[in-house]
Structure 1
Amino acid sequence: MWRSSPWALLPPVYSGLTAAGLWLVYFVAVKDEKIAPLGSTYRRRNGSFYPPYISVAGNFSPASCVFSEVMNLSAFVGFLIAVLRYLQLKHRTPHQWLNVGSLVAFSIGCFGMTLVGNFQLFTEEMIHNLGTLMTFGLGTLYCWVQSYITLRVDLKKEGRKAGIVRFLLSGSITVCMILYFSLMGRRLHMQAAQCQWALVMFFIAFIGTFAIEFRHNRFGIVCTDSCGRPASRSEALSEASRYQPDQT
């Protein structure tokens, strides 16, 4: 019998569908001979076979159409997950400013994802690269802050195990990002593209780990009559508890 909250399905489904969408963009671009396959020996020939960066794969139609949809939907659902995570920790973390700050940072990063998806690299390079920096930079910061909060809050005594996993993923993301920019600077484009794909997959996996805590919570919206008297805080909490029997 399924005893966990159905909200636990949201992070892994988000991660799986986002990864599938990005790989679909990659395979369409490879099939159309716009980018070189990952792992191949990259040589620029006759204006074709660009290095397999994610942004380059999503630069050419029809892959660009899929890429825009994937990035827009991922940004929206990612923002939703971040809001739910904020609400989950709102009355539990000892450093509330970290919780608020991480939500703000990730929200800006999600906006950066929409810039990446809607402003193609070869047409609006400056805006596209700004979106990339916002997504990678603030996304990485979010991962480190959430890893720290996971250990401090220790929901259901699972914080240590979940925190170790998240610190490992955060470290992997950071290493991949450093290698990505370093290899790009040395014009080792194939290796840089491989690091970029690894970075994004690690980040997607990090978001998927929120299922660990989400399985203990039920989120809902309480609608009240605006014409009636405002409910006191104790009444509001009592009413909310009726709809959140499994909340930690």
Structure 2
Amino acid sequence: MLPCSPWALYPPFVSLFTAAGLWVVYFVAVCDNRIAPLGSNYRRNGSLYSPYISVAGNFPPASCIFSQVMNLAAFLGFILAVLRYNQLKHLMIKPLNISSLVVFSFACFGMTLVGNFQIFTDKMTHNLGTYMTFGLGTLFCWLQSVITLKVNIKNEGRKVGIVRFLLSGIITLCMILYFSLIAQRLHIQASQSQWALAMFFLIFLSTFAIEFRHNRFNIMCTDNSGHPESGTDMFSEMSHCREQL
């Protein structure tokens, strides 16, 4: 048996893939003279938009990359949440674990809205997706921080929990700063806060590698033999978590 499960690579992969994709979108939009660079203090000749993530992904060809990145990130993020749920389902009370899964599932759905409904085309739907992604994503961070302390896997819960509470606080601060700066029409600074918010959130997701290194996840297929099964039982058998020895 390997001392460290290969599944530990999955959370960093999700974070790195999403971060790389978003930065590709940003650089394509900058090179295409659609948005101002993040370090700008002004809009040159009024022709460049502020470098919000959504604005960077609004114009082709960056919009094509943006949609693909957000859809794949939503799918990969949902799988991560399901794996985390299965890792914890026998270690703690169900309501908190299920709540965390449901919250992040809706946050992932919000990512698809952000990616597929450009802000200049359907602002209402796009903004709904933004609120779901950032709002529910932040709630997920706090829930997982509490869960980390409660479960205390391999007696690492306190150390990992402190890191996650710190990241959750930074994410919350970035989100508050983001909306406050928008209200003051400080768009360059607001966009910088938004990028920081997204990157810290991805860093948070990558920390699940710490717990995933202790487990192996296997998909199980069982013969139902014609006997009815409850939805809960079927969901539980979708992914089986086995602890590393």
What stretches of structure 1 move > 3 A for 4+ residues in a row?
Answer: none
Q: CA RMSD in A?
A: 2.1
**Counterpart contact for 2:8–2:210, Cα < 8 Å:** yes
**Counterpart contact for 1:18–1:70, Cα < 8 Å:** yes
Task: Kindly provide the CA deviation profile for residues 159-183 of structure 1, in whole angstroms up to 9, marking residues without a partner as x.
Answer: 0111011011100000000000000
User: 2:90 is matched with which residue?
Assistant: 91
1:44 Cα deviation (Å)? Answer: 5.3
User: 2:101 is matched with which residue?
Assistant: 103
User: 1:121 is matched with which residue?
Assistant: 119
Structure 1 residue 141 corresponds to structure 2 residue 139: yes
SS at match of 2:119: coil
User: 1:39 is matched with which residue?
Assistant: 39
What TM-score, normalized to structure 1?
0.91
Pairing partner for 2:221 from 223, 228, 231: 223
Task: Kindly provide the CA deviation profile for residues 129-159 of structure 1, in whole angstroms up to 9, marking residues without a partner as x.
Answer: 0000000100000000000110111000110
User: 2:14 is matched with which residue?
Assistant: 14
Q: State how far apart, in whole Å, the 2-side matches of 1:103 and 1:30 are.
A: 36
User: 1:197 is matched with which residue?
Assistant: 195
Partner amino acid for 1:30?
A: V
Q: State how far apart, in whole Å, the 2-side matches of 1:107 and 1:245 are.
A: 25
User: 1:28 is matched with which residue?
Assistant: 28
Q: State how far apart, in whole Å, the 1-side matches of 2:169 and 2:140 are.
A: 12
Name the count of aligned residue pairs. Answer: 237
User: 2:161 is matched with which residue?
Assistant: 163
Pairing partner for 2:211 from 206, 210, 213: 213
What TM-score, normalized to structure 2?
0.92
1:210 Cα deviation (Å)? Answer: 0.2
User: 2:234 is matched with which residue?
Assistant: none
Q: State how far apart, in whole Å, the 2-side matches of 1:216 and 1:79 are.
A: 20
**Counterpart contact for 1:144–1:170, Cα < 8 Å:** yes
Q: State how far apart, in whole Å, the 1-side matches of 2:50 and 2:42 are.
A: 7
From the superposition, tell whether residues 24 and 224 of structure 1 become closer, same or farther in structure 2 (CA, over 3 Å).
same
1:3 Cα deviation (Å)? Answer: 1.9
SS at match of 1:244: strand
User: 2:59 is matched with which residue?
Assistant: 60
